[in-house]
Amino acid sequence: MQKKSLWVLILGMFLGIFISVGGNVLAERGSRSPETEVLPFEDLRTFTEIFGRIKRDYVEPVTDKQLLEHAIRGMLIGLDPHSDYLTGDQYKELQEGTTGQFGGLGIEVTMENGFVKVVSPIDDTPAQRAGVRAGDLVVRLDDQPVKGMSLGDAVKLMRGDPGSRIVLTIMREGEEAPLKIEITRDIIKVKSVRSRLLEKDYGYLRISSFQSKTGEGLRKAIAELEKENAGKLKGLVLDLRNNPGGVLNAAVDVSDAFLDKGLIVYTEGRIENSEMRFNASPDDVLDGAPIVVLINAGSASASEIVAGALQDHRRAVIMGEKSFGKGSVQTVLPTSGGAAVKLTTARYFTPSGRSIQAEGIEPDIQLDRFKLESVEGPDFKPVKEADLSRHLTNGNRSKKKPETKDTEQDQEKSKLEITDYPLHEALMLLKGIAILRN
């Protein structure tokens, strides 16, 4: 009886696939290549044979639902690293992530050669504070090897109750042995836009991820910077380092904020609604003030859309490292039962027609990753002419300017090249552009 029901199920699957594929072939005959019009009967027969063998011979009982779910997930994972099958819980977590609050460690991940690869840690999250870096390969989660897991299963293990701990075993380029990093889980509340004045007339704006309200948050942040500055900015550093991307429309909104005309990004795919074009509206929130965009290997997807658009329109200087190179668009398609399919449906292109897929954005100014250290101690002051005994006076009859102590802002600037060298270089470039404009 059990064997009979198994073959009835397989026959039903076979007929379903036949009707689905056959219907598509008849509907689209003439528009597809000949090889795609042939129904792969031998492959379907192999599938049903393997399905039956697993049901009969696998060491533990497996339900039909489990096998079918694995088959669906396998079809999607085999396409590219970003297509996937999402269970109801995973679909809910994805929706929470685009709104800016979810539980977990705070890292954006993908699959590479069977391991979980960190695209980038999210700002001010447990993963970032613990020292996880873009490019790290996670090979174990606690005592469980990652090899053989789906991306969804790995993410599920990394999530958990706030306060609980997990140990990530990581392979890192340049390290001879694997690193073990213990992380305490927390509720991840991502504030996608942060800003501050670097000094008078020069602002800093950091986007950690692209969420549904990022464009709105950016405009508000710039207005606050100008209010604090008591006037328009002479330049802005837009920091997209370790930004894993996010919502496509948010990337368009951010680009549009700095452009007053022209194409921002366009997408091309096989289905009609996958082909889209996004154009800028006549409104530049900085009124043409220069921008330096910082990127690195952890800048991906939506970050690359923004960097590519501003670079092609010569609206900003791109500085840093070559970006990640994710130039594909994923569409989330809900299915019955609350699950969903995340399917790659298009590639996106910069205004000049560049595809970023597997290539990334090349910065206009390349900065290698290294750390600067101060040669002298903070209390050391070099000897000047004015310090020598019996030195000649200046000869200027005007009153001598009183000596002033370094302000907190001056001290912060002196620390910047040590704590964040790329940001220091971006600020120096902005000041140089402002001098040439005057």
Give the residue numbers marked as catalytic. Answer: 301, 312, 326
d(CA 298, CA 285): 27
Encoded tokens for 104: 């977990």
Phi-psi region of 335 (alpha: psi -120 to 50; beta: other; left: phi over 0): beta
- Shortest CA distance to 179 belongs to which of 144, 134, 131? 131
Measured between alpha carbons, how far is 21 from 37 in angstroms, rounded to an integer?
9
- d(C-alpha 434, C-alpha 233), whole Å: 11
d(Cα 392, Cα 26) in Å, to the nearest integer? 97
Q: Which neighbouring-strand residues pair with 347?
A: 268, 328
**Structure token pair of residue 192:** 């996608």
**CB-CB contact of 225 with 233 (8 Å):** yes
Q: In whole angstroms, what is the distance from residue 435 CA to residue 438 CA?
A: 5
Ramachandran quadrant class, 360 (left: phi over 0; alpha: psi -120 to 50; beta: rest): left
- Give the DSSP letter string of 216-267: HHHHHHHHHHHHHHTS--SEEEEE-TT---B-HHHHHHHHHHH-SSSEEEEE
Q: Are strands 291-295 and 340-349 parallel, antiparallel or unpaired?
A: unpaired
Find, among 248, 350, 239, 353, the residue nearest to 298 by Cα.
239
Token digits for 318? 């791109």
Query: In the 8-state DSSP scheme, what is residue 383?
Result: -
212-226 burial, b at 16+ Cβ within 10 Å, e below that, comes to: ebbbebbeebbeebb
Q: How far apart are CA 23 and CA 17, in angstroms?
A: 10
194: its two tokens: 């942060």
Nearest residue to 243 via CA among 288, 197, 207: 207
**Quick one: which H or E segment has residue 238?**
strand 235-239
Q: Which residues contact 411 (CB under 8 A, 6 or more apart)?
A: none
d(CA 256, CA 101): 25
Length of the chain: 438
Residue 390 to residue 90: CA distance in whole angstroms: 77
